[in-house]
Structure 1
């Protein structure tokens, strides 16, 4: 290693910049280079933020396993009807309710997080989620009127729960990115997001355990016990939620966010607040030379930032104007269009499959059973196998390769492989056997997560500076959820035998995957090794230099 001239960075043999603070910390821990493992602080961050994504996934996708139970309990299964009549559009609306809430939560918490700070809002989203879960499992079976009234109640409460889940996306992404080193940032974001896989896997395991506990009653035909099964399925998410809540509410503000936010009031065209252009120019050059940029948990601490020296603490309105000014430049807006559009396209396919995986397993013949209990059991096994063989491993492939291959390459190849799997199933749907379709769905899940489902979360957490990161991540995630809602509602409608059918619906997913690869190639830059706060700071410096004529 060698010292970079006039900076507080080291550069390793691979050309990665490492702050002096990071280097000294690694030396104390006895690790260096790419062999760096999680520090104690990383593990604490992983636990606090990771549990949130575990719960997000569990609460979002448990609906896939609860829907068949609701069909049996409320829509004719208990009356021994051969074809329970859970209306398709109502089912789609209830399935999509949490994603509708996600949009509200992602936009509002992303905006509030940038305007008022991470500390001000973090933990509040967990409280909203907890209240929503409690109200869902408190569904009053004595509710008067037709059965659909109960499901509109569920729709409203799942929407509330979704607001809390949505708020977790921009806040956890921003907090993890701002507290991670440049070399380890993508891997840490990957670790945090991988908890989605564990949440989905846990949902299948919990369902199998509960069906086993109630197996004697269910096999005997006492399907009223299903009421206890689904309430426990959803309600068990409250245990880790309460365990994490205190630590979220007491997490301190990150230095990097506070220092980046100051740039929102740092307006180069106006020099009236300075003693003189001459003194300003000298100080700016001196401090910029000594500063060397931002990294890790904020600017290097050897010298006060030029922003702290010359500008008052920004207000929320200042930050809003700063965000508008930032995205008024086409290069920044182009990146936002790229992160938002690719998230939209992947979510159309990803949620179309995952919110309706039980429907797909039944359609391909995997979940057929002699009794309702057998069908529920096979459905849970199918979801478990897909999660264990495809869903979870995909995240770990991303974690391992993300700092080697980069985000952009992983996203493009993930889109292309998932598109290929949908094309295989759709192109030979009438002749491809149950095993073949099952394998293709499993491979698609693998490359969703070793691909765009993970990277569309990671990239907007890295490519935008801290002062607009919450808003940009929230907009990108909310745009993705629009795709998830469209898919969740329309899948049940379009895939019916009287409409275009499942095969043609999968062709839509194929088209979204191919378009996603194209949009990534055109609009999404590589964020590996990029410190957006350094770039933002340097752009501000350059604007001041040009204005002052120095």
Structure 2
């Protein structure tokens, strides 16, 4: 060991649960609340956008977004999120967690409002503007992933660290739920005011202009929670682990945490300069030393998050299409545009309330009891089982009288996604990497997840279309059908299960113990690569 644990870090590890823990959860969690609202509310209004901007004059059927437009509207935010995770993850390790935190939040606020104000002389122009602002909205959201996780992990004590990080991520469930509730309220307000009995009357009457307000209001309201927490984010001190281990400022770290913990902490300048060992703190992300110590860990966190998000985001973004195919949501020509938004929102709110939100909070309750590894294995296993249970007798579920049972089974896949890998893939990368690379590695892991989300968003859109033209939405090419798409998602979950064996268990251990920052290079098992690591340039 290069030395004993720093007093300031030990104080954080053994601190009792205090008010500042819950304050940090709320402040960081509201970012995730906003993230989830902004990312998933688009699926509630996609069909409405098709009706408003792509209706064919005189047609008896509702308009539909062309395949490429629909894919872009649903997936462009994920492209921005992937870019933001890589950029802000790296920047968080270079400039500090707190300084970058405010940048991401302001970007989210501005782009949420701008998305609702999208404009254009034509349908194509409006959709292009919407995609532009949603890309930059995703860019800001991407930065929130590594920063929120890293900040919460570095503030928490080691006994309940998993629960605190999981609680931050669990705000995502409330964001999804709130998106559904807001859509319900907004659509119900317009639905009550304008009672068009059919789509034909909807298209000819005064409902469509008012329907244009619906999607804009829903998107713009995503700015509210982020704006409300901006002040408190800026009041948070920088984490002691960044200040002490990366910035090497012992005095500032001790002063900040003395205020937070309300105890007297000594500034240990000499220990800070030697913390983690002069050798072990010198290696960079692309060094052999990092590969020897954490290469398999990074492979595990990236692959599990990748396979999880293919399945998770496919389920979330296109559950409206699945509900329509099994008959739980009536066919579009039988409803006016506002009625369709209302019914889609009601279905997704019910799934969020019964499956999504409970899964997050069961994770919060149990993650420090049974550990990250067990929860991730359990989640991937049951996601695979329930996907196969939906896919194998798919034609049975789609017959009248079995629709409710299908929805219940589908809800279980959401429960075990959130009481499982959707939570743990977020938590573990914030615990197992060195402080100087923690935000970067979390950003890389999260970006791999968003690559999976992009595949889910773009791929499932086409794959879920049936082979028979009568089973496909207007303009969509032949696909493999929802049943076969469910088999593909089950295979992704099985792959995630297998790659989980590369991820170490971090339950009950300090961050420095997991990242091996207290080890001297000469004392570890990588003596053969130590000489190369000493001379490798830091990243």
User: Structure 1-normalised TM-score?
Assistant: 0.82
> How far did 1:157 drift?
1.0
Aligned pairs (5 A) from 1:320-331 = 322-325=284-287, 328-331=290-293
Pairing 1:492–2:477 present: no
1:338 aligns with 2:318: no
Contact 2:166/2:423 (8 A) holds in 1: yes
State the Cα distance separating 1:112 from its structure 2 match: 0.5
- Which residue is 2:81 aligned to? 102
Tell me the alpha carbon deviations over residues 384-410 of structure 1, each in whole angstroms, 9 at most, x when there is no partner: 110000000000110111011100110
| 1:399 alignment partner, one of 356, 364, 380 | 364
Cα distance change on mapping 1:109 and 1:7 into 2, 3 Å? closer
Distance 1:172 1:320, change over 3 A: farther
Secondary structure of the 1:103 match is helix
Aligned to 2:491: 511
Q: How many residues align?
A: 481
- Per-residue deviation at 1:144? 2.6
Report whether the alignment pairs 1:539 with 2:524: no
For residues 181 and 56 of structure 2, the distance between their equivalents in structure 1, rounded to whole angstroms, comes to 24
RMSD over aligned Cα, in angstroms? 2.9
Cα distance in structure 2, aligned partners of 1:226 and 1:47: 34
**Correspondent of 2:442 among 463, 473, 481:** 473
Are 2:367 and 1:387 aligned?
Answer: no
SS of the equivalent of 2:395 reads coil
Map 1:199-238; keep pairs closer than 5 Å. Answer: 199-220=175-196, 221=202, 222-238=207-223
- Cα offsets for 1:106-139 (capped at 9, x unmatched): 0001000001111221110011111211221111
Q: Say whether residues 1:56 and 2:35 are aligned partners.
A: yes
Instruction: Give the aligned partner of residue 357 of structure 1.
Output: 319
- 1:485 to 1:319, Cα distance in 2 relative to 1, 3 A: farther
Q: 2:509 aligns with which of 530, 534, 538?
A: 530
User: What is the TM-score normalised by the length of structure 2?
Assistant: 0.83
Specify whether residues 475 and 184 from structure 1 end up closer, same or farther in structure 2 by C-alpha distance, changes over 3 A only: same
**Structure 1 unaligned blocks of 5 or more:** 1-5, 11-17, 27-37, 264-295
Q: Distance in 2 between matches of 1:151 and 1:189?
A: 36
Contact kept? 1:261, 1:319, Cα under 8 Å:
no
Could you tell which deviates more after superposition, 537-546 or 234-243? Answer: 537-546
Q: CA deviation at 1:542?
A: 4.8
Matched residues in 1 for 2:317 and 2:57: separation? 24
Secondary structure in 1 matching 2:423: helix
C-alpha distance in 2, partners of 1:466/1:391? 32
In the TM superposition, what whole-angstrom CA distance separates every residue of 1:454-487 from its partner, at most 9, and x where no partner exists? Answer: 1000110111122111001000000000010011
Matches within 5 A, 1:181-196: 181-196=157-172
Distance between the aligned counterparts of 2:416 and 2:56, measured in 1?
36
- Tell me which residue corresponds to 2:328: 366
The match for 1:245 is 230
Structure 1 residue 79 displacement after superposition = 5.9
Look up the match of 1:136: 115
> Given the alignment of the two structures, is residue 427 of structure 1 paired with residue 427 of structure 2, yes or no?
no
2-structure distance, mates of 1:212, 1:525: 48
Structure 2 residue runs of 5 or longer lacking an equivalent are 197-201, 249-259, 467-477, 532-539
1:95, CA displacement in angstroms? 0.4
Distance in 2 of aligned mates of 1:20 and 1:310: 19
Query: Equivalent residue for 1:43?
Result: 22
- The alpha carbon displacement at 1:169 in A equals 0.3
> 2: distance between equivalents of 1:388 and 1:69?
23
Matches of 1:82 and 1:452, distance apart in 2 = 41
Is 1:159 equivalent to 2:135 in the alignment? Answer: yes
Partner of 1:197: 173
1:8–1:207 distance in 2 versus 1, CA, 3 Å: same
Distance in 2 (CA, whole Å) between partners of 1:328 and 1:468 is 10
Are 1:71 and 2:56 counterparts?
no
Residue 520 of structure 2 aligns to a residue whose secondary structure is helix
Q: CA deviation at 1:309?
A: 4.4
Give the conservation status (yes or no) of the 8 Å contact 1:76–1:83: yes
- C-alpha displacement of 1:260: 2.4
SS of 1:144's equivalent in the other structure is coil
Q: For 2:282 and 2:111, how far apart are their aligned partners in 1?
A: 30
Give deviations 1:485-510, integer Å, cap 9, x for gaps. 01101111111122211111111100
